[in-house]
Structure 1
Amino acid sequence: MNLNYNRIIELLEGQPEQYVSGEALSRELNISRTAVWKQMKKLESQGYRIEASRRLGYRLMGKPSKLTLPELLVKLEGTTLVRSIKLLDSVDSTQNIAQQMAEEGAPEGTLVIADQQTNGRGRLGRSWVSPAGKGVWMSLVLRPGIPLQFAPQLTLLTAVALCRALKSVVPLEIGIKWPNDLLIGGKKISGILLESTAEDERLRYVIAGVGVSVNLEPEDYPKELLDVATSLLIAGGEHIDRGAVVAAFIRQLEHLYAVYQREGFGPIRTLWEALSVTLHKPTKLYAPTEVFEGTPIGLDERGALLVEKADGSVVPVFSAEMRFPEANSGG
């Protein structure tokens, strides 16, 4: 952050709850009023909440909350899954950092968290809006040692863990859209991306990437996403402690991961089906080799989505883009 940003923050903090005119800021910083406006927009992108008035000037309404290692360690007390935490300010993608660390031998339970992602990514190569101080952007190294064909089960397990975690933090109706998007009122609240590397048909490691839109405001989203995306703040009207979201997810994941390793996929399948907003709704599926319509009826023992076609046949689907007739069914 350059000297202008620091000085602007000092000036705004020096008059709490009051406006500082654009003229005063322009004079103090020796820059134009337009340059002052651009600096304010940059501060907003860093998580500062600034109220602007053409007549009165600018007022500081809130500062970005920073995740800290001591805070996270306190919140994670009693858990055993996370062995180390790498906390970063801004990265292109936590997936990239975690993958590099895994290749260098990082053990299972290595957690990478960033305050901001400049090139966060989701499924199917999509980008993910990840502004500073407003969400949870993290990737966890797992080394399950299971056969490669069971990798989809871990994606579903992660979705269940995150859904249960968010429902424990906020009193909102949250459900899973197959395979792992979480929705509130048909709008996407989070994204999950699992990327794996295998050797001799067994998983060497899995990078479980999770992005949760916690305290994003409408202006943080491109206009074209407002119909399909939301945040916990927008949906619930209250700012949420991001550290609490991280801790709730890790606790749920640790519990379900242990259940999975002990009892297999059966219990996870039952939980996923109970939390799903996908089942028993007619949909169109865009699979790699075909496009067809059908009604999802459940998961099979491998983790594939079972879809009943119009002719009564049931087919397993491992990978497809799902679109419901409703306009706001999410992405």
Structure 2
Amino acid sequence: MSTEGLVQLFGRYPDQYVSGELMSQELGVSRTAIWKQIRKLESAGYEFEASTKLGYRLAYAPEKLDSERLTDLMETSRFGKKISFHEQVKSTQDIARELAESGAPEGQLVLAEEQLGGRGRMGRSWVSPQGKGLWMSMVMRPNVPIHCAPQLTLLTAVALCRALKRHTDLPIGIKWPNDLLVNGKKISGILLESAAEDERLKYIVAGVGLSVNLTEADYPEELLDKATSLRIQAGRVWSRKAIMAAFLKEWETLYDLFLQEGFRPIASLWESLSVTLGKPVRFITPQGELTGVPIGLEDSGAIRVQREDGSVTALFSAEMGEPLP
């Protein structure tokens, strides 16, 4: 018996409990075999409600991602037009970097149903369970100097935030530099890694992890007060394909604007979406801790912080803590 056969059986009884006896009869296998297949489906992102008297009800079936249908949804000219799809990977960043080194075109996307070693900024791990999020990396080849790389990190955050706000109506905002928050909890991770040649960017691999349909049960207990998903916040399931298409369209639009007009229009959009500007906060920098009020972005992408003595410091690399009381 395959998991596919079990899914098809539940499809014949939508929103109903199916007894172990009925499943055994229809599929011609033991109840133990059925239980093992249900465990496999749960590890693949399916969710079941169990009742001692009634059996099992399929509560959630993950929307499958496939490159052909995704390509049909794209309203872009480059981003996501070529997709390398994987069921399970250690990290989409590693695969995208290999593709970039071998000459993959701008817009080449690596997409996975599950990451075993997803990572974010500062080397942190990222929870990437199967079938419930968008775990992707894309090759970018901007003809700009090396120092523009941080600007593209901020641009990616702006594109994702704008697309999600439009698609979900949730109160999503940006915490510097690129964390997306809903009600103070993080829903995405963005990591850009670059390679340079002759003082110009050779390529950038932009990694994005978005928690779409995760439930609280998908997170380690220690992350529940810090991390969330679109599903948890909205109380409903979302189409990953529709969200991805909306994001790539916004991302390409802002990227083209950046190439034509520079970073200032992107900086203005970032400032309008920030949830941390104007609030006292503690920064952890390579030189030590610093307290001040972030007041805006430099054209370089650095954040301007006003100190208690009125002086203004530009920070390029720092970890922003929670707003101070």
**Number of equivalences:** 323
Q: Using a 3 Å threshold, how does the CA distance of structure 1 residues 326 and 87 change in structure 2: closer, same or farther?
A: farther
Tell me, what secondary structure is at the counterpart of 2:245? helix
Counterpart-to-counterpart distance in 2, 1:207 and 1:90: 19
What do residues 267-312 of structure 1 show as CA deviations (whole Å, max 9, x unaligned)? 1111100100111111111112211211111111100011111122
- Structure 1-normalised TM-score? 0.90
The AA in structure 2 aligned to 1:254 is E
Q: For structure 2, which runs of at least 5 residues remain unmatched after alignment?
A: none
What SS does structure 1 have at the residue aligned with 2:187?
Answer: strand
Using a 3 Å threshold, how does the CA distance of structure 1 residues 114 and 313 change in structure 2: closer, same or farther? same
Shifted more, 229-238 versus 77-86: the winner is: 77-86
Q: Is the 8 A contact 1:4 1:29 kept in 2?
A: no
* Contact in 2 for aligned 1:98/1:141 (Cα 8 Å): yes
Question: Per-residue CA shift, 1:140-195, capped at 9, x if unaligned?
Answer: 10011321112110000111111111111111111000000101110111111101
Q: Which amino acid aligns with 2:211?
A: S
Amino acid in structure 1 at the alignment position of 2:255: Y
Q: 1:43 pairs with 38, 41, 44, which one?
A: 41
Q: Indicate how the Cα distance of structure 1 residues 65 and 289 shifts in structure 2: closer, same or farther if over 3 A, else same.
A: same
- Aligned-partner Cα distance in 2 for 1:125–1:319: 14
Q: Secondary structure at the match of 1:324?
A: strand
Match of 2:236 among 229, 238, 253: 238
User: Structure 1: which 5+ runs fail to align?
Assistant: none
Secondary structure at the counterpart of residue 58 of structure 1: strand
The two structures, once aligned, show a CA RMSD in angstroms of: 2.3
Pick closer, same or farther for the CA change 1:190–1:104 going to 2, 3 Å. Answer: same
Task: Supply the distance in 2 between the matched residues of 1:300 and 1:140 (Cα, whole angstroms).
Answer: 26
Match of 1:59 among 32, 35, 57: 57
Distance in 1, Cα, partners of 2:67 & 2:8? 26
Q: Distance in 1 between matches of 2:41 and 2:63?
A: 13
2:308 equivalent among 300, 307, 310: 310
Deviation at 1:5, TM superposition (A): 3.8
Of 36-45 and 100-109, more deviation after overlay is shown by 36-45
Deviation of the 1:319 alpha carbon: 1.4
Q: Could you tell me which residue of structure 2 aligns to residue 150 of structure 1?
A: 148
For residues 31-50 of structure 1, give each alpha carbon's deviation from its aligned partner in whole angstroms, at most 9, with x where no partner exists.
75xx8666534422312121
- Identity across the alignment (%): 56
| One-letter identity of the residue aligned with 2:183 | G
TM-score (norm 2): 0.91
Residue number among 98, 107, 110 corresponding to 1:109 in the alignment? 107
